[in-house]
Amino acid sequence: MIGRLNHVALAVPDLAAASERYRDALGAKVSQPQALPEHGVTVVFVELDNTKIELLEPLGEDSPIAAFLAKNPKGGMHHVCYETSDLRAARDRLTATGARVLGDGEPKIGAHGKPVIFLHPSDLFGTLTELEEV
């Protein structure tokens, strides 16, 4: 049902500073910032050979990332994202086992332009989990 790890997302208080640190100190390739108003975030992707790191900054005070950073002011791991070939089938299988899909349960378009859903952290060992259809 799940495939490879697509990315690990880190919430950061300052996207420009975090991008600079990954680019200049670690020598990583960092994408341009992308605002995603429907998700309340601005993101960049740090490209690695085997996966990506997504850096998230709140886009407005109502962003779920703003609430996360209020509890974790220096930032931290926000979620992991796995790929799946059939998002709706994965969702249905997970909800049949008691997992909860956040929001209205319907896929939304994510940062890569592909359908995504998020699963409640309590249902996956305290980790917010995103599934992305590939």
Catalytic residue numbers, as ranges: 130
121: phi then psi, degrees, rounded to nearest 5: -60, -35
| DSSP string across 31-62 | PPPEEETTTTEEEEEEE-SS-EEEEEEESSTT
Residue 108 to residue 87: CA distance in whole angstroms: 11
Q: Contact 111/46 with Cβ under 8 angstroms?
A: no
Residue 106 to residue 96: CA distance in whole angstroms: 15
Give strand pairing partners of 108.
Answer: 116
Residue 84 to residue 31: CA distance in whole angstroms: 23
